Structure 1
């Protein structure tokens, strides 16, 4: 659903850009820019770019449009200035009637924070790239344990993307711990148990089984009854109860 919404948003933007270019490319507008319509996609999610930060970048690079003549505002220079920021993935800038400059920013969103045993500390984005936002903090899952950068790019990105696409699991999973053998143990926000995931194979089936266990078993016995719930084997769920 999220992917479909983004595709529709992108299609609408492309259609409008074509319309705006056709209508205004041959028209010299000497009126001043009075409005800045700045949109940051996925701003409701944990990210590092704010409206104020984007404005600061524009002012710092001398391309802040308010007050400038519309025909002297260079869309490409605005896009280039914003793209210099390491936390911005892409930018689209275009003008519309009534002295308005529109800017759409797609930011690099962190999937999780890495706190590896080898001392590596960074955020991992949706493409598997490292992000090092000094002074910033995002309320997202933390991955700990035996994490090499190759493992993070290959396995943790796969899990992180899956969690981000599901609102329930995105909120429920608080920590991902990588064991020395590369298997994964998850720590949820709610409940006294841990979740033994094993590898990242068959994620959809494993989490579907776990969700069924959450809905049918835990309400009957209590959320603090189990010490560990294993979904490593997709054909069964194994629960280890807390000893009395």
Structure 2
């Protein structure tokens, strides 16, 4: 009896699985999408792309899933469309039980904002990828002056990375100004002194010397004692005093 019972159980389970499979397929063919869930990664760090932006993008391109049969929801097209936006680094779209479509978006995190003398106005991420400024604001160092896209990628990305990875400089540096000879000046939040970095090289050493000056000298003589501070030369910090 036991072998026969096991055989009947196996037959019953197989029949049930076949029935459930075809029921699911049939339901997916006819069931309509009920919910669209959008998650934006790193939204606390930057808001250059929002859930409303993603929603609107899908509506404008006819890819909005709610109300469509689940079988007609094209996840590949949704991902490709979203990833064509310069502010989106990656998009993952998936269907889940309950007639849900979930969209997970990884946004590009801007490193610097470029506002050059030639009229260029855009953000750039850590890989040098440009993103047009379009009404959103990010609290980042602003690069001004005689700056080109090539100079940003080859020289300023390294400086931006150093600033962003150090809490002290990340909070201090407001502006990076590029002079016509490509020397670099910094405008800081604390004090009135313009900081002259000089050539776009040896940023780590120059910032280390500048920080030592800020921590050991300025607290003793006053934050507004100097109108300019230069760390352009090796192992030197030169302060130019304010005029009386």
Aligned to 1:63: 63
Structure 1, unaligned runs of 5 or more: 1-23
Aligned to 2:176: 176
Classify the secondary structure of the residue corresponding to 1:64.
coil
Distance 1:161 1:99 in 2: 43
Aligned to 1:195: 195
Query: For the aligned residues, what is the CA RMSD?
Result: 2.7
Deviation at 1:184, TM superposition (A): 0.4
- Could you give the per-residue CA deviations for residues 39-65 of structure 1, whole angstroms, max 9, x where no partner exists? 222322344211111111122222223
Question: Greater CA radius of gyration, 1 or 2?
Answer: 2
Distance 1:237 1:108 in 2: 36
Classify the secondary structure of the residue corresponding to 2:128.
coil
Structure 2, unaligned runs of 5 or more: 1-20
Does structure 1 conserve the Cα–Cα contact (< 8 Å) formed by 2:114 and 2:124? Answer: no
Aligned to 1:125: 124
Deviation at 1:140, TM superposition (A): 2.6
- Could you give the per-residue CA deviations for residues 144-203 of structure 1, whole angstroms, max 9, x where no partner exists? 222233222211222223222333322321111112221100001221111111223222
Distance 1:225 1:89 in 2: 45
Distance 1:199 1:98 in 2: 59
Aligned to 1:6: none
Distance 1:66 1:154 in 2: 45
Distance 1:32 1:218 in 2: 66
Aligned residues: 218
